[in-house]
Structure 1
Amino acid sequence: MLDSNKLVFWTILVLTYFQNSQGTHEQDEFNRIQFEAAFQGECGHGSPCEQLCYELHDGMYECDCRQDFVLREDGYSCAEINSTVVPSTSPQTKVNYSDVLYQKDAVLDISEIDENVTLADSNDIPNVEISDITSQGPSLEQKLTEVSSDDEKRTTASISTTGPCILDCGLGGLCVRSNARAKQTCLCPLGRGGDFCKEDIDVRSPRFQGSSWLAFSALRGAYKHVQLALELRPEAYDGVILLTGERDDMVGDFMALLLHQGRVEFRFDCGSGEGVVRSEETVLLNQWNHVTLFRHRWDAWLQLNGERHAQGRSKGLFSRITFREPVFIGGPGNTTNIAEKLPVVSGFKGCIRHLEINDHIYNFGLEPKGEAIKGLGIEECTADRCSRVPCQHGGKCLTGPESAVCLCPLGFSGDLCEIRVDLQVPAFNGSSHLRYKGLGEEALTWLDLEITFKPNAPDGLLIYNGHRTDGYGDFMALYLVEEYVEFAFDLGTGASVVTSKYQITLGEWHKVRISRTGRQAILFVDKQPSVETTSPGAFTQLSLPQNLFLGGVVNFGAVSPHIKVRSSFIGCVQALRIGGRQIPILAEALGGANVNNCPHPCVAKPCGEDGECIPEMDYFTCRCKPGHRNQACSRGPPSFSGIDSYLYFNDARTLDSLMADPITLNVRFKSTSSDGLLLWLNNGLGGGFISVGLEKGDLVLRFSNRNEEVVVVHNNTYVHDNLWHRIKAVRDGGTGLLIVDNGPAVTHQAVAVWRRPRPPSPDEEGLFVGGMPHTLLLRTIYRTGIKGCVADIVINADYHLRLVGDRDRNVRECDS
């Protein structure tokens, strides 16, 4: 007996009635009870569960059984599926197969019944046909017969068959007429194609037309756990990707994967309330997207293209899904009443090339070559022609009617994105765009926007920022139409458009400014008279949470239908200012594609590596970094303070030059300190190093040679007098040489042999100038860097080192 004070039991019974196939008498009806039991208390000692116990939520728990066992109708004891004898009962007692049928989500295939059990032995399951105890529910052949008139209505909900449709589409084909056109077409059965379904086609990567679908056998062993991976290439923002469940009328349990307004949605119902998981990001149209889905009992998470996981949970206490229907891919198949449960009723439009559910990868071909039971309107995906266009550097392949092209990321161009581009002034070619964080609520009441651009085509979208991914709701847009500049915006009560008074000239630079306050917007174009407009309605605020696009958009389906042009801008953009702030066009871009350099003086980097070229129409000015001066942004020699002050170089060319043997270093420097490190070179060859520094006023060259340290001391010249000196240091095998100010060479062979283990030296590969980080310096004989300046370093007579390190630390400009 269980402690009544410790456990309070309650049982939920969900009764689902199935008529038997003969339906002769009411008392002969077989009522299949779907059962789950939950109780308050705790798992462990005192639990009523015979085998397994799971915590639900809110203090509730549920019993379960191990593999090859099913839960009995009492909710806590278990029966073995493959046994005809119930343990602890007499050998003559048969398994009550109604235990299996009553158990929610349980599946029992006729092959699992002991071969010794005949139909005469099945007195425990009266009036149940063989098809009633298969894992697939009703016969698939019965469910997926040739399309009847009723099936036709279900399958092609979005297709009008009004009027005669007389095409001979062959066996299993369907003649349809679109609402949008009078032309009659054939939806062919899987494996057939062509205008009249006369051609044999081999489907490896199916393309769905929005009215297509594939069907696979019902899921097995997935009532608690589903793990799914999918690769899809959508051509529209809405559509049913996958649908399966308990019944073909959407009554009871179901699981659906959808595209809804560009986002991937997973909807599932375990029998007591729907759960919804929605991706934060939208899919990329006409590009391959990767979707990963994981569901365990009530909980599910979804991931799109490796971005953040979206999580969700179904309602109620039931945690299992019964799968009796086929798995429909690309559309709802013969499922009805989906509008009552799903926000999308149309089929998916686009390609799918990978489907994996619970570690099983599906073959899209028709049985017996493949695994599909049936399909309608399936084509072979031509997007795989991208396999012949190997885009480089992260480029995305985009297919057109006849060919495939690469959509190149920022910084690359060329047919295969093989050319690296140092972008200065961006140029857009009609398939380009730059993407930024949206204005959000920054433009609620007022917006001040200014852009400098040079158009090369009379039409094109220049700037767009919207509220929704379907093009509806608030938006603001700047675009060209027939060489006129137009600004359009919608505050939620209707779009308003203002157009420039005159056309602009192609191939020349223009400056356009937008000033909007509340419902009023004013357009300024060059020196033309300003033009203004007022938004209709009473709303005064503009909300723009979506990304802002410059030069074009990824998909015009996300652009408001009030915009007159449906093409991207062709030309150059050199400056963008929003809300009084100059936007770094390239530095702040979150992404972009097919952006190249505009022909402009800034492309030649007239300000040098240390200056920023600021375009001003056809000319420019230089903005120099701190410590740089004059028009070309050159700088004086670097100055070092002695403590944690240094330049560090580890670029490929410098590292290559340090590998030479012999190696020659020519250095021009001045110092006020009698001690300090001037140079430290680590060539990465077994910890080998070269150092030049000041030790008690003497200039000293040190380097490693096998298990020895060679020391060359030059004490003939006073070099810490704050005057400029030129030194030459040479290492040739085990010989060292020092020359100061073109004086006599000092060659010395003083050798220190490391009899004890050699003290560790800094092992960071590269060249330090003027000093080192303090932690590395402690591993040398030096404790500080020099106090002074270094004006010139030449390695091996042909490599002049530019004294702007990869990592600078506490470096200032030398006074003289």
Structure 2
Amino acid sequence: MAGLGWFVLIFGQLAVLTLAQNPFEEKTTFEAAFQGRCGHGSPCEQLCYELHDGMYECDCRDGYILHKNGYSCAELNSTSPSIGDLGELVEDAESDEQNTDEEDTIEDILYMRGASFTIHLEAPEANSTVANATKLREMSNEIPRAEQRPTSQGPNLEQKLPSTTELVANTEPACSLDCGPAGNCYVEQQLLDDVNVIVDDEDPESASTPREQRDEVAPRRKQGSFRQRCQCPLGRTGDRCQLESEVRSPRFTGSGWLAFPALRAAYKHVQLELEFRPEAWDGVLLLAGERDDLQGDFMALILHHGFIEFMFDCGSGVGTVRSTETVKLNEWNTLSVYRHRWDAWIQLNQEKRVQGRSKGLFSRITFREPLFVGGPGNTTGLEKLPVRSGFKGCVRHLEANEHHYRFPLAPQGDAANGFDVEECTADRCSKVPCSHGGKCLTTGGDTAVCLCPLGYTGDLCETRVDLQVPSFNGSSYLRYPGLADTSLSWLELAVTLKPSAPDGVILYNGHHSDATGDFIALYLSAGHVQFTFDLGTGPATIRSEYPVKLGEWVGVRVSRTGRMASLEVEDYPPQEILAPGAFTQLSLPLNLYLGGAPSPDMYSPKMKSTASFVGCIQTVILNSREVGILAEALGGVNVGNCGHACEARPCGDAECRPLRERFTCRCRPGVPHPCPAPDDYKPLATSPARPNILASRNEKTVPSFTGSESYLHYNDADTMKRIISYRVDINMRFRASSSNGLLLWSGRQSDPQEQKDENDDFLALGLKQGYLTLAYNLGSGEAVLRYNLTRLDDDLWHRVRAVRNEQWASLVVDSGTGVSASSPGQLRQLNTDTGLYIGGAPDIVRTTGGRYTKGIVGCISDLILDTDFSVPLLSPEQSTNTHSCIP
């Protein structure tokens, strides 16, 4: 037992001179605190929590209860030990706790060196039960024993009339209105000032009042007339509470409240989400606790001088967390509250989180009273709070520990009772019944719109639509799986779109939900196409030279390799940029969004525009694969049809493929060939009015090779310094129809009359029997690395990355699994002097030492070296027998 350290038990609310003198038994489960830290030396049988002040406590899992020794656990259904001496567990005689959650009955017992204890048990007062256990106990005569107060056996949800009745009783007759069986009649002033209100700092009358006097919240009134009024229960309205009403989004008048059942399983952990629209700077938003006089544990959300204050007391002192910003008056605000044991934080309107901590060693809050929303309910002892009046304004969302509260009375809702609550007219969503799973969204100015799921449209999502070419209206988006790690080193993106507004996000994919980390964004800003990306060391943005024309189809192509990216709009010259820093890879695990996003908060603040796209998006090609815009979408909102010819289904049972203003038909298996097509249809590539932009671009920028004495040659310093030396990083796209052929070569020159040295330095990349092969020699032996996971002689575009770092090398094809190898010997540097040959080489058998007999038959594009240098394929030092690649 020496490892347990020292401890002393202090019991509260036990109450006789000794237990032997009074055999009255009272049960309480408890927590114990020990000096030291959790770890191998702690005696805790199941769970251990480190406290502040160099202490720790033990705890048990669900279904167990902490033993008298403070460290072992016993099953809840086991027989409790009888009480014969100090420290044994005893049973609670209060009948109102028989059905409460076992965890919620846990009380705090403090173990502290040098503390003495005295046990008293006072008889309960007549007509009342013993008050619930108060956690601050008598300790070394320094901590006063908490005052015992009677409380009701169960929650009383009757409305307590405001104290205004007492103030005006001397001058006004008793209230005589008939407010129905559940309504209350009371007298109130006709002026706006209520009794228990904080005087506004901006009020001229209160400006000269000392702050100390104003914060006392003493009842006072301006002179004025009085009137009688009915205070109606939840579900009733009218002058005499004669009318039925349904409250979906409650509005509180400052004197009303809603009551929900007591919080369950929340003694250690509470997480709240709240949306509210305040009409005054002060008021009690939410209140819950152990007793109806605030003498036990409690937590409260207060609106005080416009600031949110979260107050919580675990039994040894009140902790308060206060927002740094004020709420937005007469606007919707969001509030998140998180409390775990002593610690808590709040976040108002997505601003910075504010943290706080409660006092003392006790960490649990017992909730037995109802959860009051909009006011203090029937709670007394409000002098602990800086505000006593109720909240004035609307609440439309309340969630506690993942339970979403419904505001109507049970069984239609969750409310147990309420007074002076009316329907919030500011929340227009309660008047907008969206159909087919649509969700209502308020847009400001007390207006609301329905966000319709894919396949539905209309003001209330009442109309089903056959989507062909999607259109976006500024509140729309489509959602897809993110790129994840498929675009670590390179990204190819092509989009065909027709914008109707000069600003809007076309495509976005991020890394973190808080808008930090890597991201890519393609968007319009002032009519210019912009591409922004961040690899983790700062953003880089490319901007098109000319703005696009609204209402016309436009093709956009983005290419990124490592830190380098290019942007090409239509047939204008591409723009290029190099990202800052040293990072070269891009990781995007979140969903990819097209046309917008659920919230602009998801976008990186490094973007120039966060408006949603307005217009049509026809095709999206990612990494050489066309995305099924509608078929592959995980979800979407408010997506309509663009008004394209494909909507009339001109291809019958075949697939209609839009090509800007026109279309073509793609036959499905079993459909006769040729597919039906309109008589005036002409392929886009042969249209004289608008040539195929992709074909035009390829003809201008992509060389093709015949395999026989067909190559490009470079020997400039910018190229060769990235080939020679200790490291090389090659990133390229190619398309090949031959099973064997050289892609890249750099080696050593030799006299034609001499035999080549078998250990001459060289680097070769090519196809052998359809598989990609990297071979190199640094002067001490040849290494051959073969990528045998897939054949590449299929005449399709493939992306390849070949990296050599000293002796080690790796190959990756199309974002697949990488393979690696190492060269023999000790030499680590590549020294070549032939320059760089692309697609082939002169006298290829001798040049390559017989390793290759011909060059590649196909096309090569986008050759990037060391992630930052794009080899100019259009302007080589020498070009032999090359042609333009036919797409």
- Please, what TM-score do these two structures have when normalized by structure 1? 0.45
Kindly indicate which of the two structures has a greater share of residues assigned to strand. Answer: 1
